A and B are shown apart, each in its own frame.
Chain A
Amino acid sequence: MSMESTIVRFELGGREVEVMVKPMTTLQSALRDHLGYTATKEGCRQGGCGSCTVLVDGEPMMSCLLPVEDVAGKKVTTVESITPTEGLHPIQRAFIDDYAFQCGYCTPGMVMISKALLDHDPAPSGDAIREALTGNVCRCTGYQPIVQAIGNAAVAMRGSEGEQAR
């Protein structure tokens, strides 16, 4: 029970990282302030907006509510992790092509929840997409372009897998 800093190690986008943090530092703060991974946004810090959504061992979580000690030894995935060295991930491409953002603040969270959805369900129905988005708030788009982008990203990803299979 001390306020001493501790070292926490976890995997970030396939790379082992370590941060020295005070107790109760959130994963969000560790990513942004300690590691410089600023794609993950700070919105409400209440778990109410979803702009800080990251994947922990493949499952979406709100990084603002997660003490970084809780991800010790786990795999964390952010927008930086899924962006290829050249070009964009199909979900990112679809968000641009379908005008699925205006101000862009919710987009990293939207992209990560979409990634989680398409990893679990490569061909989601419209209802499944809407259900997945219930924890992520966008005040610009009215959601319809986002739902459309995720559907189109699903098609694009299935197509590219098909090509690889050939």
Chain B
Amino acid sequence: MPRSLPEALSLLEAHSPELLVMAGGTVAMPLINDGISLPEAVMGLRFAGLDRLERSGDTLRIGATATLTQLLNQDAVPMLREAARNTAGWSIRNMGTVGGNLFTPPPGGDVAVALLALDASVTLASTRGKRVLPIAEFQTGFMTNALAPDELLVEISVPIRSEPTAYLKFGRKHANTPAVVTVAARIEWDGEQVAVARIALGAVGPHPIRARRAEELLVGTGLGAGAIAAAAAAAVEECEPFTDGIATEWYRRKMVGLFVGRALEQLAAGAAGEGR
């Protein structure tokens, strides 16, 4: 149990890839308790000093082991509050970490969906140095990522913006529930036209994914009903849903169309409210 980042990085260098890195334990411990995961060695990060969450200029810097409760209590990025509020219950939010959410298999990872829509970046560190990656390049497949064996995710940086955002999580219960689908969306305007669109989807792919075709279709439009319908249809096409105990592939696909549409309508109504 390292007491500092340098100590954690040298332990990782010496013992990876057998070393299981654990922060809040809300993903790893259930598997260990059931004997599904039998790690050779575990490195706990709770005392490694990576839990700061602070605003630095127009960036929110989130230490990898900052908890979901810390994320809920910040007010710089409202979408991240909403994502934290929609993840698990109080006790788990006190344990689960923002960094850990990027290692949570679908249908989990509801915070990662928001981070994707917000164009967050991740800082990866090793004894060799640090590098920064856009979050869209971090997750590479089901439970795989861009980390080298000796690298540790240490920080997540989120640009602080003023435009309204939309975050909708649809589950089978009101709270503390796995997602059927999660949609996080954001629009940057150039006058009355969409300049940049971000649509991130959770629980409908091997990891949280961007609906890039849908995003492209929105650019240059006024976010009217026709553009929204076309984008929602594109998102339905490009998502990769799966069947599990929560929902079938067929149902998830239907709900992607519905909830992408609702998220974009919410953003269009917000823009109209501002006099656009």
Contacts and interface: CB of A to CB of B under 8 A. Distances in A.
Interface of A: 1, 23-24, 26, 45-48, 50, 53, 56, 59-62, 64-67, 69-70, 113, 116, 131-136
Given A45-B34, A131-B175, A134-B175, A64 B90 contact: no
Interface of B is mostly: mixed
B145 interface: no
Contacts of B32: 24
Contacts of A45: 30, 33-34
Nearest to B22: A67
B30 A47 contact: yes
B94 A24 contact: no
Contacts of B40: 1
Nearest to B88: A135
Interface stretch (B41-49, B135-143, B201-209, B223-231): B41-49
Contact of A47 (B11, B15, B92): B92
Contact of B44 (A1, A47, A60, A67): A67
A134 B25 contact: no
A47 B176 CA distance: 11
Given A23-B42, A61-B94, A64-B29, A69 B89 contact: no
B95 A65 contact: yes
Given A26-B29, A64-B33, A135-B89, A69 B1 contact: yes
A60 B33 contact: no
A23 B1 CA distance: 10
Q: Is the interface of A mostly helix, strand, loop or mixed?
A: mixed
Given A45-B33, A46-B33, 12 more contacts: A1-B19, A46-B34, A50-B91, A62-B26, A62-B92, A66-B95, A113-B90, A131-B90, A131-B175, A134-B175, A135-B89, A135-B92
B90 A65 contact: no
B42 A135 contact: no
B67 to A, nearest CB: 9
6 A-B pairs closest in CB distance: A135-B89, A134-B176, A65-B29, A46-B30, A134-B89, A45-B33
B241 to A, nearest CB: 24
A62 B92 CA distance: 7
A103 B47 CA distance: 38
Nearest to B91: A60
Contact of B89 (A26, A46, A50, A66): A50
7 contacts: A46-B34, A47-B95, A56-B94, A61-B95, A64-B33, A67-B44, A136-B89
Given A113-B90, A116-B90, A135-B89, A1 B26 contact: no
